Homo-oligomer: A and B are copies of this chain.
Amino acid sequence: MNVHQPRQRLVTLADVAREAGVGESTVSRVLRKHGSFSKGTQDRVAEAVAQLGYVPNRLAGSLAGSATSAGSQLVGIVIPSLTNIVFPELLRGIAGGLDAVGFQSVIAVSDYDAEREEALIGALLSWRPAGLIVTGLEHTPGAVARLRASGVRIVEMIDTDGPGLDIVVGFSNRAVGRVSAGHLLGRGYRRIGFVGHDLDRDLRAGKRLAGFAEALAAAGHPLRDREILAGPSSAAAGREALGRLLARRPDLDAVYFSNDDMALGGYFHCLEAGLSIPGGIALFGYNGLDITAAMPQPLSTVRTPRLRIGEVAAERLGAGGPSETVDLGFELIEGATA
């Protein structure tokens, strides 16, 4: 089946109209519950639709509507990664918010590559989406130009540390870094290190580190050392990086991780090396992944409102308000590791 057939002609609205013995525009109105029509007509149309197995063609619908109404019912989404569980959670939030209004999402993954993001934005705009949701505030000039010229609602997610193009939904990554530093300092840690991943590409992680280091320096206990592995974050990377860092600086009393995956890896390293936590070494993460709450010692971390960010992003896309920044904040989880 399905082998190079010239694609059978599918049932069209005109077929339904003929079958139901009414005009095309009437069918269109009934199907969209828009305008007025009698109960009898509605029933006859419904029957014809069922009879013929009609599936509306939204390409045609959106194209026709594009002159006057809101364009297609698609929303374009660009995220940097699918590997980091954070992004699927954002997507889940968006999907939830979106299908409340019958929109659907076209998703593209940039792999933390700004050039690629620009290309993807172009590709998504070619579907004349009702709006676009992108990640972060940093984009190539070309991408910004396209977004501006598109005339559609733009939502930038996750980061509020800087000016946005239209709607911004997230929290301050810099503040997360500062608060995390404050917590460690407050607990009396003084010889603090950092374990991270690819900061050149994950710009938010870079901002957190900047805020973190800044707060430490301001308190007079500057960051002692850092171990940064190229490549995406992972438990394996965190484990290896913490091993290296502690081999070099066994005197550290606390380590800040670029995220929970890395921190979990660090935790595994400590288990294996027989280091006591937080007495021997304190660990502090970022994200508040569910898994960290199930650890024998819950991870000390910062929980971010990922799902909510997605929901709000979706919601604002539909709404017609003015441009604005929505800061959803974050929550420090004390945990037992720092």
Contacts and interface: CB of A to CB of B under 8 A. Distances in A.
Interface of A: 1-8, 10, 53, 55-60, 62-63, 66, 68, 70-72, 74, 82-83, 85, 87-89, 91-92, 95, 99, 104-109, 122-128, 145-146, 149-154, 166, 234-236, 238-239, 261, 264-265, 268, 271-272, 290-291, 293-296, 320-323
Contacts of A105: 106-107
A112 to B, nearest CB: 13
11 contacts: A2-B152, A2-B166, A3-B321, A4-B320, A55-B146, A63-B63, A82-B88, A82-B92, A95-B107, A95-B109, A271-B296
A122 B55 contact: yes
A57 B235 CA distance: 43
A271 B296 CA distance: 7
Nearest to A56: B126
Q: How many copies does the complex hold?
A: 2
Given A55-B150, A104-B127, 20 more contacts: A1-B322, A3-B320, A3-B321, A4-B320, A7-B70, A53-B146, A57-B66, A58-B126, A59-B72, A82-B95, A83-B89, A104-B123, A105-B107, A106-B107, A235-B290, A235-B294, A236-B291, A239-B294, A264-B291, A264-B294
A100 to B, nearest CB: 13
Contacts of A72: 59
A238 B295 CA distance: 11
A1 B320 CA distance: 10
A91 B95 contact: no
A92 B111 CA distance: 10
Nearest to A296: B272
A92 B88 contact: no
A201 B2 CA distance: 30
Contacts of A95: 82, 107-109
Contacts of A322: 1, 3
Given A63-B60, A166-B2, A10 B85 contact: no
